[in-house]
Structure 1
Amino acid sequence: MSFADDSFDVVLSLLCLHNIAGETEREIACHEIARVLKPAGTALLSNYTNTAEYAKALAQAGLNVEKPKSYLLDAYGLMWMVVAIKIGL
């Protein structure tokens, strides 16, 4: 991403990351999300498939994964969600 480090208070990814081909590329995307989050910022990622790989990548990038397996039932089915906070002031 062409954004500076620590640019955003919140990064919201709803049903997006599964469109990135390859687990390594999705891991890179999660690391980029962590990079652009401000300290104490929140990342919320969701998908209709298991989000465990996102939780793992965000934790590896230094975020505190607070809700690695949250669920929300919507009109299309069960949505998996990850909530992570960037540690810092």
Structure 2
Amino acid sequence: MEKFVQLHINDNIVIALKKFETGDIINVNGEEIPLKESIDFGHKIAIKPISKKNKILKYGLSIGSATQNIVPGEHVHSHNLETDYLINQ
């Protein structure tokens, strides 16, 4: 079993299926990506560079925009992601 899942071929993130520690390495489509920080189960990991204001893709669709530059192996979460979903409008 893989330790992460890529939900769509166009996604620029994967979902952790276990808790990862800083320095762990994941192999995505033949590319080794060292993790920049610890990442909890169910959280997103960048697998491609994502420039500030570019879309973060999950399920092949945008779930939000990067609020800063994100490098492969970095945790993608509310600290660097502005959601596309509107809540309590």
TM bucket normalised to smaller:
under 0.3
TM-score (norm 1): 0.27
More strand by share: 1
TM-score by length of 2: 0.27
Greater relative contact order (Cα < 8 A, sep 6+): 1
